Amino acid sequence: MHRTEADSIDLLRARTSVKWRTYADDVLPLPVAEMDYPLAEPIARALHRAVDRSDTGYSSLAPAVAEAFQGFAARRFGWEPDPARVTCTADVSMGIVEVLRQAVAPGDRVIVTSPIYPPFFDLVTEAGGVVDEVPLLGGIRDGWSFDLPGIEAAFARGARAMLLCNPHNPTGWVPSRAQLEAIAELAAAHGATVVSDEVHGPLSQPATPYTPFLTVSDAAREHGVAVTAATKAFNIAGLKTALIVTASERGDRLREAMPYEVAWRMSHFGAVATVAAFAEGGHWLDGVLGSLDDNRRLLADLLEEDLPGVGYRVPDATYLAWLDLTALGWGDDPAETALERARVALVSGPTFGAQVGRGHARLNFACSPEMLAEAIARLADARASGDGR
């Protein structure tokens, strides 16, 4: 597998995105899910051509996005979603909210499996639901699994939907087909809806490919809705395009009941970039996956050498590392000490779930090996000096 190299630090600090404008220049920013790799050439070329022809109006490209996604999903995952069963919108979070607004009534409970991407909690409440937290079982040492009895109990006490993260953020865990089948059966037994965020699917490593939820069973197709995008895998989050995908008449009714404006929120440049990414970006993505494979293993070596005692399980997908920093003695939210004393920016663990995130932090390793090594060296120096204890 070939490798894609990260941009130089000078080029990175010239970027104006959140990752590179939130912190002072002496901070290594490894929190927000942006990658440090250069934009895929097919995407850059498509965007330049759009600018050259002053093509900045309202987008007509939803069908092209859906068809490009069908081809990409078929090649990468053996899944051929029906383009007629795709609604485009601005981003995955927005898509999740709009699906939940159709799937639950105000006050209905929605299951989330912590530790989980922090906005999930807000998305449920934005849609009018109430969070029903069912933490994952297992952990960094033994790996994760869904608490199926806990999820069944949540459905039994009235949860009308489950918000699934497949692959899982922040752990990088790829749920098995059997686990997904079990979730689908539980939802079907209770007439509930599973909303599956699959934006990290293309970032699963070849040895552990993710399983699209809508492919696992008839129950999943009947009760599931997938929300996905090219944004994470191709580093185009600022271009605002996502897809809401269904595979049954029940799911179609949820999509079709959405307000007319949901589809108009898609960015035209986002659609241009997404079509190019799905149609022509595979070679670039393979290079990124190679670099991420190197970095996820490098991180394990660095931690073992410089920060023994820190818990880390090499993720099967994403470019996100879920770290148990309890051994450092930096309190419930070690990201605060990491920023203050080591000048390394991480994501606060408790934001992923107040209880399960205590003593943890999330690190983004989609960077150069040198930056990753420097970050761990800074954390180790802070520990050795006793800072934050």
Give the DSSP letter string of 189-218. Answer: HTT-EEEEE-TTGGGB-TTS----GGGS-H
Q: E-strand spans in the chain?
A: 28-29, 86-89, 109-112, 130-133, 137-139, 143-145, 161-165, 193-197, 224-228, 242-245, 311-312, 320-324, 344-345, 347-348, 360-364
CA distance 98 to 254: 9
CB 104 within 8 A of CB 163: no
Pairing of strands 161-165, 193-197: parallel
Instruction: Look at residue 53 and tell me whether its pLDDT is greater than 80.
Output: yes
Over the range 309-336, which residues count as b (16 or more CB within 10 Å of their CB) and which as e?
Answer: ebbbbebbbbbbbbbbbbebebeebbbe
At 232, give phi and psi (nearest 5°): -75, -50
Kindly report, residue by residue over 252-303, the tens digit of the pLDDT.
999 999 999 999 999 999 999 999 999 999 999 999 999 999 999 999 999 9
Q: Is the pLDDT of residue 389 over 60?
A: no
Task: Give the three-state DSSP class for 126.
Answer: helix
Q: Are 173 and 140 in contact (CB under 8 A)?
A: no
Note the pLDDT of residue 385.
86
pTM for this predicted structure: 0.96
Grade residue 388 by pLDDT with cuts at 50, 70 and 90. very low
Locate tokens 């709009």: which residue?
Answer: 98
- Paired with 164 in beta bridges are 196
For residue 353, give both structure tokens: 């779930």
More confident residue, 91 or 388: 91
The three-state DSSP-derived secondary structure of 130-161 is EEEECCCEEECCCEEECCHHHHHHHHHCCCCE
Side-chain half-sphere CA neighbours of 38 within 13 A: 12
**Environment class of residue 221 by beta-carbon count within 10 Å: exposed (0-12), middle (13-18) or buried (19+)?**
middle
126: exposed, middle or buried (C-beta count within 10 Å: 0-12, 13-18, 19+)? middle
The span from the CA of 386 to the CA of 389, in Å, is: 6
Percent of the chain whose predicted confidence (pLDDT) is above 70: 99
Q: Select from 389, 328, 333 the least CA-distant residue to 362.
A: 333
Signed CA dihedral, 325, 326, 330, 336: sign only: positive
Residue with tokens 């600090």, as numbered in its chain: 13
Q: Residue 387: pLDDT above 80?
A: no
**Cis peptide leading into 350, omega within 30 of 0?**
no
What is the amino acid identity at position 360?
H
Helix, strand and coil percent figures for the chain, each rounded to 5 = 45, 15, 40
Domains of the chain by range and CATH? 9-38+282-384 (3.90.1150.10), 43-280 (3.40.640.10)
pLDDT for the residue numbered 386: 73
Per-residue pLDDT for 219 more than 90?
Answer: yes
Give the H or E element holding residue 294: helix 282-306
